[in-house]
Amino acid sequence: MSVGALPRFRAENIRSMLRHGLITVAFCCFIAAALAITQHGDWGAQMVYSLSIGLISWLFIDVGRLLISGHREILWPTGPWGYLLVAAGVLAGFFGGNAIGDAWTHQPLLNFSSFEERRLATTIIITVTATICMCFFFYSLGRSKYMRSQIEQAQRNATEARLKLLEAQLEPHMLFNTLANLRVLITIDPPRAVAMLDRLNNYLRMTLSGSRALSHPLSAEFERLADYLELMSVRMGERLHYTLDLPADLRDTPVPPLLLQPLVENSIRHGLEPKVEGGKIAVRARQDAGRLVIEVSDTGVGLGATQPAQSGGSGFGLEQVRERLATVYGDQGRMSLAAAPAGGTCATLSLPLPPHA
């Protein structure tokens, strides 16, 4: 629903009005107490006058601002309309509140006209000053809330743009490698090239659908991995074996798209491909102390056989995974890279589980 289509007196605006009303009542009680003490007047009469003037002004201005600007993002009229509304609220509160007070104290209607000049000026100054101060206070609260919402929206947009950029960096990385392998297979093994092309088509179709969202179910991530590993199996043949283990209760857990693929790519490129006989990749998800733990382990050559920069976990793919974890989960997303007990390498992701998972 567009901003212009939002109802003026929606629940959020009504709650805001009620908060303003309670603050106005408290402020009026303070003014009544101050007047009763300084002028030695009747406490009850001062309370009736103060509350009547304050609440009429509040109701007039708060309803008026919603009628004028309730369909906008900032719920206060700007320019001359804002000043006219406050002035009208002051007049309505002053005359209406004094009329109610006069009726309560059994005084002639609008008895303030008989006040001495000093007392009348004091009454007018208190009414105008209090109304303007309250309006400025409420306007500042509303503007502060609007600015916070704009900052949060900007942060969400920046996060989304950053994730899209990271995805754009990852997809060509995988695509170019696959196309280079496909080019070789076309000349030496056309049937396998056709099979590889079919897998690539399926993989790209699923990747495009996943790239339109900031997160998708973990089951979709595993399905994408299955396509990718099948694609690599066409190229590596018997040198590549893999297992994917996803418990049923974790299938719907949301994760960023393409989060696991760089880890699997690393296992193949730096673990299994340098090994003549190849090996096995195992991807396993589990729960541990309220967190989602995903392990990508291989039986490749291990960390000690790779280049220092890669073994230290500072390669391009690993950096992308770390950045995505930091962007989405902050300090709650962690990744570690260690030697697997049976040889090879194990990359472990630890993410916070949603409350309902």
Q: What is the pLDDT averaged over residues 6-21?
A: 79
Tokens encoding 7:
């109802």
Top-confidence residue, 54 or 70: 54
Averaged pLDDT of the chain: 80
Q: Do 245 and 284 form a contact (C-beta atoms < 8 A)?
A: yes
pLDDT digits (tens, 9 = 90+) for 315-348: 667 887 888 888 788 888 899 989 887 788 999 9
Rounded to 5, what percent of the chain is helix, strand, coil? 70, 10, 20
Q: What is the pLDDT averaged over residues 142-167?
A: 73
Please give the biggest Cα pair distance in the chain.
109
Q: What is the pLDDT averaged over residues 120-136?
A: 80
Q: Which amino acid is at 88?
A: A
| pLDDT score at 312 | 44
pLDDT digits (tens, 9 = 90+) for 187-237: 888 887 887 788 788 777 776 666 666 788 899 889 888 888 888 887 788
Would the pLDDT of 119 be above 80? no
- Please tell me whether the overall predicted TM-score, pTM, comes out greater than 0.75 for this model: no
Q: How does residue 308 score in pLDDT terms, banded at 50, 70 and 90?
A: very low
Tokens encoding 303:
């960390």
